[in-house]
A and B are shown apart, each in its own frame.
Chain A
Amino acid sequence: MMKMLKLVTCIKQVPMVSELPWDPRTGTLKRNLADGMINPACRYALEAALILKNTYGAEITAITMGSDIAEEVLREAFAMGADRGILVSDPKMAGADTLATSLVLSRAVQTACADFDLILCGCHTSDSETAQVGPQMIEELDIPGVTYVDRLELDGRLLRLQRLSDNFIETLEMELPGLVTITTQRQAPRYVPLAGLQDAFTDKDISRLSLEDLDLDPELTGAKGSPTKIINVFSPTAEKDNIIMKGSARKIVQQLFDQFDDKIGGAIGKDIKDYQESQ
């Protein structure tokens, strides 16, 4: 009998962008005030796993690293169809950059689901936006892996992938076990069903893993295990001193094209200045 396909999705809880906790006047980040959500790309990765589960049958383990409230993203993953939830949580892991995070997550996968077939990660997060944890887990686990995947299909142990990479549509193949990072381009994630959400809190348990459970040296995790240091944070989105135009649509458009011919005409590659007038 063939073994059940074992999928792992790594999901991150990120602040909702609509509630960006940034105060441009005081120049501070108020991350704890923001409600969390599943990082959009991670949601696409989970959807890709759910499609594989629906097609081939699979067990999905969702793993997240964060504080206690990150349990929420695992519950949501349950509601969507994940089978197991692992919360990797330890105060010593605070301040981790991608190097430390990829180490912890890789070790969590090896601890919680050593016989995994495929790990699916979101291609990047909406908060720190590095897109580095996926490729660094590929290295840490020493498995084949492909980033920015749009489509995937399984043929036995062979995974066939399609992605758009730097203007090229590429078809790639690799043997399982492996890791892919999923983009937000293809299959929109399903909505959460309300019955599943109730079950997510009654029928499912979350396993918690600490650094000790992972047998990891605290020196290699958190801020200590992170070679990069943030020395300054600032907001570039100061309000512009803009030009305001009012009046009839026709007059505005004429004024716009005459005054900004260089900007607009230049960009569209056409001369839009009204020569009849200027001649």
Chain B
Amino acid sequence: MDFNPCMKHKLVRKTVRDFSEAELGPIAHEIDRDARFPWQVIEKMRVLNYFGLQIPRKYGGAEVDSISYAITIEELSKVCASIGLCVTVHNSVGAQPIKSFGTEKQKECFLPPMASGERIGAFCLTEANAGSDASGVETNAVEVEDGYIINGTKIFVTNGGICGYALIFATMTTGAGKPFTNVFIVEKEMAGFSVGEIEDLCGMRANPVSSLFLEDCKVPFDNCLGQPGSGIKIALTALDSGRIGIAAQALGIAQGAFEAAIKYSKERQQFKKPISSFQTIQNYLADMATEIDAGRLLLYRACALKDENKPFGTEAAMAKLYCSSVANRTTNLAMQIHGGYGYSKEYDVERYFRDAKVTEIYEGTSEVQRLVISRAVLSQHT
């Protein structure tokens, strides 16, 4: 077992770090404050393959391994979690389902514009009465002569305001049979599709999270993903990958807050000494460092399993559960170390603190992760 990062992964980290610090660092504070999506930076990211991370080469992607993927999301999120979020949602739950469940024709049609970042993907499961309960989807699709008619409202859609393709989960019924869930690739120009107001959220403010409205939205047959009734399976599979992304994002936020805390604790003087010389602060830093490292190892294990084509859902759930909780504890301690300055918007820890919370909520709450993990644990020990 080799715990040292290989040269490739070191270089991936350095590459993404150089880019993030140069392009996102100077604006991270401002785009959070103004809830602005930075299109100019996105343009630069498009040609550097950030939107085709795990899409196969033949569709224009970079086809990176999962550890490279996690490192990329971590380093983006360390500087600007809103953009880390945009990239991971697009790549994991946006493009991955098309890659895994799409027909060759669908892949040829939808993946290249996603890989180039021309179209940003969104994953639309959550509704007023559905979220953790994927089967509670009330948006419905009806088959007509030349496609489907979809009606319903999706809420809290990450990338909602900027998406080119939205994966819409909708319930269908045929005849007297049981209702089932299907996934539809809805393109932003389609009649009956519209974007609601951008949500005013606690964190991740540079990501245009919004509602999406489907009012008699007509979708061709070709845009239905997977077999009829495979919606739940597609959702769960996508979310397994999504968890790796969110765990990486949480880790990036934690690492960012941790580094800010280290720097501040060395600079800030009290009683004529840097506060890093006090044992209380040292204990905080030791806990933060240990937890971040533990989270990273959990995450890389899930990535390695995924790259070996082995089941990784439970391990990804553990990584997501733990890293998101580390992100919250770390940002909390980082703010504590900063004292009053940390509570001020002038310092980045305040943003890290707000951004961290949602990692325990979206793409499966911590409670849902525990459900996934406990099911696996119980089934192994029957």
Q: Chain A 71-96, CB within 8 Å of chain B: the 1/0 string?
A: 11001100100000000000000000
CB closest chain-A residue, reference B62: A195
Report how many residues on chain B are interfacial, defined by Cβ distance under 8 Å.
25
Look across to chain B and name the residue whose beta carbon is closest to the beta carbon of A73.
Answer: B11
A194 surroundings in chain B (CB, below 8 A):
12, 15-16, 48-50, 53, 62, 64, 68, 72
Q: Give 1 or 0 for each of A199-220: 1 = CB within 8 Å of chain B CB.
A: 0110000000000000000000
Instruction: Known A191-B15, A191-B18, A191-B48; judge A198-B7 contact (CB<8 A).
Output: no
- Shortest distance from the beta carbon of B56 to any chain A beta carbon, whole Å: 11
CA distance in complex: A148, B90 (Å): 44
Question: Number of A residues contacting the other chain (C-beta, 8 Å)?
Answer: 17
**B273 is an interface residue with CB less than 8 A from chain A:** no
In the complex, B44 has a CB within 8 A of chain A: yes
Smallest CB-CB A-B distances: 9 pairs? A195-B62, A194-B49, A192-B15, A195-B49, A201-B8, A193-B48, A194-B62, A191-B19, A193-B49
Contacts of A200 in B (CB 8 A): 8, 11
Q: Does A262 contact B (CB under 8 A)?
A: no
The answer to whether A76 and B11 touch (CB under 8 A), given A195-B62, A198-B68, is yes
Complex Cα spacing A72 to B57, Å: 24
Q: Is B61 an interface residue (CB 8 A)?
A: yes
A-B interface pairs (CB < 8 A), number:
60
Residues of A within 8 A of B47 (CB): 193
With A75-B7, A197-B11 given, can you name 5 additional A-B contacts, CB distance below 8 Å?
A: A72-B7, A191-B15, A191-B48, A195-B57, A198-B62
- 29 A–B contact pairs at CB < 8 A? A35-B14, A72-B10, A72-B11, A75-B7, A75-B11, A76-B11, A76-B15, A191-B19, A191-B44, A191-B48, A192-B15, A192-B18, A192-B48, A193-B62, A194-B15, A194-B62, A194-B64, A194-B68, A195-B49, A195-B61, A195-B62, A195-B63, A195-B64, A197-B8, A197-B15, A198-B62, A198-B63, A198-B65, A198-B68
Please indicate the chain A residues that have their CB under 8 angstroms from the CB of B16 in the complex. Answer: 194
C-alpha spacing A76/B16, complex, angstroms: 13
Q: Which residue of B lies closest to A198 (CB)?
A: B64
Chain A min CB distance to B90 (Å)? 14
Q: Which of B51-97 contact A (CB under 8 A)?
A: 52-53, 57, 61-65, 68, 72
